[in-house]
Chain A
């Protein structure tokens, strides 16, 4: 039978990656003075799994490395080795190397042998003698918090073990802790060993409730003296498959074994190449959940989006024409269900932000070491959910902001002490749901922004800065491209390359960024983001007879401009006075190249604020607010300057979504915009 197993390869790569990430997380949490046995167990299991996968991946070298790591972990648990900074750093580096090599293997089908050799050599330093990896089951009980109990259960007479509510009993035991041993004579009693963090009373209460007080005894576990080990069967130790001969050990088992007289026969294992290295489509499967290709989810989301549109068309038609109350009710019901369906489908794409937050501790640890700073990282709200794509796109900006806080914000321990601060700096990451969106905050208790230096730098660079500016205005300068106050280059945060990029990225996600800072007390950065990239809260407006959508998040206010408020400046451009400020007044129809008829007299001005850049856009009418499903115009037509995308309205018409940021940078075209006219025509 020809069986192609290469299709499973991507899953093994993915699982290897997950195990490595898990190891990393646990290693970062390990307390060098009192390593938690539970955590050690978990790291060990992950390392063991990677080792197990390595043969499947065709990477026997990983197996050697993981074997070394197991030995090191074994020494840690035996308290022969203290998991100090050096040890943890080495183990973390080992994870990096293996991850990198797994990536190479996946992409190029080969590993960098030299890198693995070097790692192996480094690991060897902590495993002096050639030790065989400890058996997993010999790992310690999490001794500090958990205990082992012996549980003796009397079996109902005449029924034996089948007289017990076994499914409930095992479920209960599984909930209490880890079941480690099961023995029975088959007729009178069942002996169990349970490893649990619960108290004797709690275990007893649970079991008494289930089985009755008379038939259960719970006592602290006493390890029996080790029986003399039977001599292992001489052959087969290198074989890949074998059958146990139970004759030799029948006395040790429960006595209920089938004494099958199956001759042990080793079956030779053929070449390890049962799995090729060709990577196929990514398969996603997980233990307690189903992994689904994101493309399928996107398709589902799209279909639901279409359904929402169809539903609103239906509802509009029904309210316009239907006299029948029952029809109207039904349509309303369909509407509610559609919205619920839409929410549910979007919910599938939501992931806890922990996916992102969990990457930060490593960054902080490595950076702090390099910079000689001491930092404590605190995260809140890691369970907060947001769209998967959003999480992916937020990774770079957030990493960058944390890097900045560590590099420029948190002071060296000596400086902090001199300033009367705690030596250990604090960086906090917080995520919360607020008003239908997500707020992510990055706070540090470092030195804060230096107002004078930023101002001086801004003036030096010819930016419109003056000493009378408010703090908020001054902080905006840090978002200018290439802006930095750092005296010298650092390879960590670079020369201010970044804040402008961070801002642009956040903007692209439909979010915005706020900065607060107090000298000496640190910097507080707030990112406000929508939950998803697929839906937009919009204001529908009419411009030159066409319907457009303006993202609601950018609208500061809408007003009727009075002629006394409007001034024409020397260049011919117009400004409008809004309270104490003059905003550029833009004729949206002209910007878009529409043959418009918008006049200031009849028009409504919408004041928009894009990252502090303000302007007023003239539109003919405000039509209302609504949530719209964003469709890419590029994917369906072509890119048009000033247009961010398109959506289908309830009346079935296509409306274009304005890209306000781009509009503010557009020059008024001299002739009509053929592209846009064509797009509107197509709509």
Chain B
């Protein structure tokens, strides 16, 4: 089932890689380069899933999650945090911001597709 996915990361390489994997699974992808860019794009489109990095210029991933969760149209949309390490601090922050789950970089392409399938079901 093709989903419209927003990927937010300041690393062009990560964005490219996400898009490549997601598109190869038949999803449609729009990319944003930081939290603010992501928020603007989320306001302009209705996404089925949002995957965002944590550390970014302009607006970080946690604030993006909070801002998205404040919007009725994104109250129930799955949001995955991309993180460098899976620490408890990250999880607390992610959870209280309202993220759906986390994914540690580097991710296995097949697992990513798997996860996307699960959270967008």
**A interface residues, Cβ below 8 angstroms from B:** 1, 3, 5, 8, 11-12, 14-15, 45, 48-49, 51-53, 55-56, 132-133, 135-138, 160-162, 166-167, 170-171, 174, 178-184, 186, 190, 229-230, 232-233, 236-246, 248-249, 252-254, 256-258, 260, 262, 267, 269-270, 272, 274-275, 283, 285-288
Contacts and interface: CB of A to CB of B under 8 A. Distances in A.
A249 B92 CA distance: 9
Contacts of B72: 160-162, 186, 256
Interface in B68-89: 69-73, 75-76, 78, 84-89
A278 to B, nearest CB: 16
A650 B105 CA distance: 57
A186 B73 CA distance: 12
Contact of A272 (B36, B55, B106, B115): B106
A49 B72 CA distance: 32
Secondary structure class of chain B's binding surface, majority of residues: helix
A52 B90 CA distance: 14
B33 A244 contact: no
Contacts, number: 200
5 contacts: A137-B60, A167-B44, A254-B69, A257-B76, A275-B106
Contact of B109 (A1, A11, A161): A1
Interface string B83-121: 011111111111111111111111111110111001100
Interface residues of B, number: 68
Name the 5 nearest CB pairs between A and B, nearest first.
A258-B76, A11-B13, A243-B101, A3-B109, A174-B36
B25 interface: yes
Contacts of A269: 104, 107-108, 111
Contacts of B71: 161-162, 166
Contact of A267 (B59, B93, B111): B111
Contacts of A161: 70-72
Given A53-B11, A174-B59, A240-B104, A167 B70 contact: no
A135 B85 CA distance: 10
A254 B44 contact: no
A674 to B, nearest CB: 54
Interface string B38-63: 01100110000000001101111011
Contacts of B113: 1
Contact of B108 (A246, A249, A274, A287): A274
B104 A241 contact: yes
B55 A244 contact: no
B98 A253 contact: yes
Contact of B33 (A15, A48, A166, A288): A288
B67 interface: yes
Contacts of A286: 12
A3, A15, A161, A248, most chain B CB atoms within 10 A: A3
A56 B62 contact: no
B70 A253 contact: no
Contacts of A51: 84
A181 to B, nearest CB: 6
B36 A256 contact: no
B73 to A, nearest CB: 8
A565 B37 CA distance: 73
Contacts of B66: 181-183, 254
A258 B74 CA distance: 9
B106 A55 contact: yes
Contacts of B24: 1, 3
Contacts of A162: 71-73
A136 B95 contact: no
B12, B60, B72, B93, most chain A CB atoms within 10 A: B12
Contacts of A270: 108, 111
Given A1-B24, A1-B25, A182 B70 contact: yes
Given A170-B43, A190-B70, A244-B100, A49 B55 contact: yes
A244 B95 contact: yes
Nearest to B93: A137
A237 B109 contact: no
